[in-house]
Amino acid sequence: MTRKIRTRLEKLEYLESQVPLQKTAQEIATSRLHNIMRLATAFYLGNPKRGEAIVDAHARALGYATRREYKKALKDAIAHKDSNYIERNKLANIRVLEKFGVTLDDPSKRIDKAFKRMFEGFSDYYKQLWEDEESRRAPNAS
């Protein structure tokens, strides 16, 4: 009997491990915020060229000379090595927000309108990138 229970428990643990974890509402909101800020930073500060990858415009917006330099800094930041990527990204985000009238002293009153104006100012290409990200986040997306 103990063996049957253990076998069932192992099978249940295996089945649970196969179910993808669902993101919380806060994780989804955070992801959306990071995504729109990445796009806005690239678009409004990175001087994007037609058909250019977002990463190149984002790299320029953060002051990196090349995509390689940018990716190394990002990789180092993820690995918690000494990297100035986080500081550069934070300063770029502040610059974009300030461009739309949002200050760190009082962000809540204008933030929704600022994000709406950011999105409205995007090129069709950037709007499509946003829509693509949103469709991947949708619960029914496969």
Domain coordinates of the chain in residue numbers? 37-137
List for the chain the helix, strand, coil content (%; round to 5). Answer: 70, 0, 30
Q: Indicate the helix (H) or strand (E) that contains 10.
A: helix 2-18
- What is the SS3 string spanning 18-62? HCCCCCCHHHHHHHHHHHHHHHHHHHHHCCCCCCCCHHHHHHHHC
For the entire predicted model, the pTM comes to 0.76
Return the higher-pLDDT residue of 140 and 2: 2
Residue 110 pLDDT exceeds 80: no
CB 93 within 8 A of CB 37: yes
- Mean pLDDT computed over 109-115: 81
Amino acid in the structure at residue 56: D
pLDDT digits (tens, 9 = 90+) for 51-76: 899 999 999 999 999 999 999 999 99
pLDDT digits (tens, 9 = 90+) for 73-86: 999 999 988 779 99
- Mean pLDDT computed over 11-36: 80
